[in-house]
Amino acid sequence: MAVNVKVKTGILEMVPWISNNTAQAIYPNIYLPKKVFENLKSLKPNPKYIDVLLHEEAHIKRQREMGLLRWGMKYVFSPRFRFNEEIFAIKAQKNVNVEKSARQLSSWVYLWMVSYEEAKNVLKIIMH
């Protein structure tokens, strides 16, 4: 596994709603929950976790291109930018559950950046 992939520690591990359920890309590193990190080191990693890594690698690519500060400010303050960045990262994944992804993209996890219907429609288009 790449040296920039790390187990979450510190504040990322302490925030209850993100600690065990999400991964974060903060250039140049990717932070994963311990169970995901350990699984990816195994001989037969879970395809779902491979997709998590591919997704976060896409965010790292965009952060490198734009600069972390610019990317981060736009990601935090622009729901449309955040949605476009998530779609960009989802395109890097091998397997996407459209229903589940649409529910997540339209939820509190992403600060309700789009409606469920819009997320589902865009995902259906990009997955075909």
Q: Tens digit of pLDDT for each residue in 43-62? A: 999 999 999 999 999 999 99
Query: What percent of the chain clears pLDDT 70, i.e. is strictly above it?
Result: 92
Enclosing domain of residue 90:
5-126
Residues with Cβ within 8 Å of residue 38, at least 6 apart in sequence: none
Kindly give the residue spans of alpha helices, DSSP state H, lying in 67-97: 68-77, 79-91
pTM: 0.92
> Looking at the 3D structure of the chain, how many domains does it have?
1
Burial code of 40-68, b = ≥16 C-beta within 10 A, e = fewer? Answer: beeeeeeeebbbbbebbbbbbebbeebeb
Taking only the tens place, the pLDDT of each residue in 93-108 is 999 999 999 999 999 9
80-85 long-range CB contacts below 8 Å, 24 or more apart?
A: 80/113, 82/110, 82/111, 82/113, 83/110, 83/113, 83/114, 83/119, 83/122, 85/59
